[in-house]
């Protein structure tokens, strides 16, 4: 017995060379792997019963893990240029090389990349496997309540234990989605440590609008161009498949505008949308087209004149407008809110990047405290950009977290 106890004691990691990662999501798993590869002894604390639960629901269960088309505006926040040094150090190519090495080959759709398996869970499984192969300790059902410094070490307190390490990486994620564990506790931990948090708001989600007979159009999917207006001024435009719902509007083009709409709405600005259901025509061309059709098909009713051009349910809503053809090219909606955190894929806002080193992701307030992933005030466009941010920031935080203490 004594012999065994001695052995156990011998195996316990030296906290002076240990990195504690809070959160076993995309950023946390990547941080742990990279820190362990540098030679640190690493522990992940995850309050769910397993790691990577959010990874498993990404991309409709297929995980859009990155995007070949990287562009500056894909990353947003109070200080969007913050991402540049992180991507310089761990790029899309580095990410793809890493995933290939652990067994994930990708397939591409218009630049959007997915694991070949078509299964998001293979990404989290292989990441965890890699972490375990590097002897990362993964402690699940461990809810981190408090993080503090004492006697030159970081103390990370859970319900039943206090872990000690020389460096801590906070990778708690955001409070978006109904995935268990997305409770926003990372913001509280960061604030307790003196960090400013830009108020988190839901992003990449549907927008509620003042009702214009939405029960009729609910369920329709149709192509269109959508413009966001803030205080009457056009700000951004997106095109693609729109989903018309009982509360308003959704679909990827709406997701792309939503972070701006929600933030403007929270600032009490007037937020509107304009939809063009015929982005390929000018209004004039459309009117000529319908006039000709009326000539050739005098037997067609007003509804029938639009049949074949738009889904029936949408025609019904348009015909209730004073000028249906004008409305088809310029359908105005007033935004009254969003579908909320539970339906959101990510949050805008988070730990203020101005208090974080843009090269190492170390806190400017505390030595050997690092941040990674969505907890930071960076949110990406829909299309694999949020996971790319999680992979790159996780890798950088892991590398520097370990370098500081080895
Ligand atoms: C439905 C849906 C689909 C999405 N699809 C895509 C997509 O296809 N492509 C894309 O790029 N992005 C997508 N995203 C966004 C992407 O999943 C996130 O941006 C990404 O997972 C963020 O990584 P993270 O590690 O920062 O946070 P998370 O992955 O959320 O990980 C944080 C982890 O920390 C744990 N945790 C939090 N607080 C504590 C605590 N106090 N103690 C212990 N553990 C804690 C959580 O349980 C969680 O496991 C999607 C999101 C959703 C909800």
pLDDT digits (tens, 9 = 90+) for 57-80: 999 999 999 999 999 999 999 999
pLDDT digits (tens, 9 = 90+) for 208-263: 999 988 999 999 999 999 999 999 999 999 999 999 999 999 999 999 999 999 99
Where are the chain's structural domains? 14-200+348-403, 207-338
Q: Report the share of the chain in percent with pLDDT over 90.
A: 95
Rounded to two decimals, what is the model's pTM? Answer: 0.95
Q: Give the pairing type, strands 41-46 and 18-22.
A: parallel
Q: Which of 54, 61, 162 best tests ligand 1's pocket when mutated (most atoms within 8 Å of CB)?
A: 54
DSSP calls for 87-138:
HHHS-HHHHHHHHHHHT--EEEETTEEEETTS-HHHHHHHHHHHHHHTT-EE
| Spacing, Cα 338 to ligand 1 middle (Å) | 20
CATH of domain 14-200+348-403: 3.50.50.60
Residue 362 beta carbon below 6 angstroms from any ligand 1 atom: no
Nearest to 377 by CA among 113, 33, 81, 72: 81
Q: What is the mean pLDDT of the chain?
A: 96
pLDDT over 50 at 1, yes or no: no
Rounded Cα distance between 272 and 261, Å, is 8
Q: Which pLDDT band holds residue 4 (cuts at 50, 70, 90)? A: low
Residues 6+ apart with CB under 8 A from 55: 25, 26, 63, 120, 121, 123, 124, 127, 387
Q: Compute the distance from residue 152 Cα to the ligand 1 centre, in Å.
A: 31
Q: Give 6-62 pLDDT, tens digit per residue.
A: 554 556 678 989 999 999 999 999 999 999 999 999 999 999 999 999 999 999 999
| Closest approach atom of ligand 1 to CA 64 | 8
Whether residue 148 is predicted with pLDDT greater than 60 in this model: the reply is yes
Supply the Cα-derived Rg of the chain in whole angstroms: 25
- 398 CB under 6 A from ligand 1? no
Q: For 308, phi and psi rounded to 5 degrees?
A: 95, -20
Whether 27 is in the pocket of ligand 1, judged by its Cβ within 6 Å, is yes
In the 8-state DSSP scheme, what is residue 271?
Answer: E
Strands 220-230 and 271-276: antiparallel
Can you give the pLDDT at residue 406? Answer: 84
* Binding site membership of 64 for ligand 1 (Cβ less than 6 Å): yes
- Sorting pLDDT into bands at 50, 70 and 90, what band is 404? confident
- Looking from the CA of residue 120, the nearest atom of ligand 1 is 8
pLDDT at residue 405 in the model: 87
Return the pLDDT at 213: 87
């Amino acid at each position: 017995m004594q012999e065994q106890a001695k052995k156990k004691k011998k195996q316990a990691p030296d906290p002076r060379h240990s990195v504690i990662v809070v959160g076993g999501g995309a950023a946390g798993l990547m941080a742990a792997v990279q820190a362990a590869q540098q030679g640190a002894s690493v522990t992940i604390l995850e309050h769910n019963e397993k790691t990577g639960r959010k990874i498993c629901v990404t991309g409709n269960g297929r995980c859009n893990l990155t995007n070949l088309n990287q562009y500056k505006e894909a990353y947003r926040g109070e200080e969007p240029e913050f991402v540049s040094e992180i991507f310089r150090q761990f790029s899309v190519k580095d990410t793809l090389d890493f995933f290939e090495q652990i067994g994930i080959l990708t397939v591409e759709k218009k630049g959007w990349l997915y694991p070949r398996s078509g299964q998001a869970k293979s990404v989290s499984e292989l990441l965890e496997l890699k972490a375990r192969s590097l002897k990362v300790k993964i402690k699940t059902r461990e809810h981190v309540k408090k993080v503090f410094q004492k006697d030159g070490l970081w103390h990370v307190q859970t319900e039943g234990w206090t872990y000690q390490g020389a460096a801590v990486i906070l990778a708690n994620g955001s409070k978006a989605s109904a995935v268990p564990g997305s409770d926003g506790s990372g913001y509280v931990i960061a604030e307790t440590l003196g960090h400013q948090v830009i108020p988190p708001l839901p992003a990449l989600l549907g927008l509620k609008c003042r009702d214009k007979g939405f029960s009729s159009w609910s369920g329709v999917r149709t192509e269109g161009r959508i413009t966001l207006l803030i205080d009457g001024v056009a700000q951004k435009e997106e095109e693609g498949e729109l989903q018309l719902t009982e509360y308003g509007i959704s679909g990827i083009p709406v997701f792309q505008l939503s972070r701006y709409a929600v933030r403007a709405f929270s600032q009490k600005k007037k937020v509107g949308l304009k939809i063009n259901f015929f982005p390929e025509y000018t209004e004039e061309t459309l009117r000529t087209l319908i006039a000709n059709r009326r000539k050739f098909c005098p037997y067609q009713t007003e509804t029938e004149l639009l049949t074949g051009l738009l889904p029936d349910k949408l025609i019904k809503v348009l015909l209730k407008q004073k000028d249906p053809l004008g409305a088809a090219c310029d359908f105005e909606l007033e935004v009254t809110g969003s579908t909320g955190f539970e339906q959101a894929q990510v949050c805008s806002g988070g730990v203020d990047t101005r208090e974080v080193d843009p090269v190492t992701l170390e806190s400017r307030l505390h030595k050997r405290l690092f941040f990674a992933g969505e907890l930071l005030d960076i949110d990406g466009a829909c299309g694999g950009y949020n996971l790319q941010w999680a992979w790159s920031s996780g890798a950088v935080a892991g590398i520097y977290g370990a370098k500081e203490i080895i």
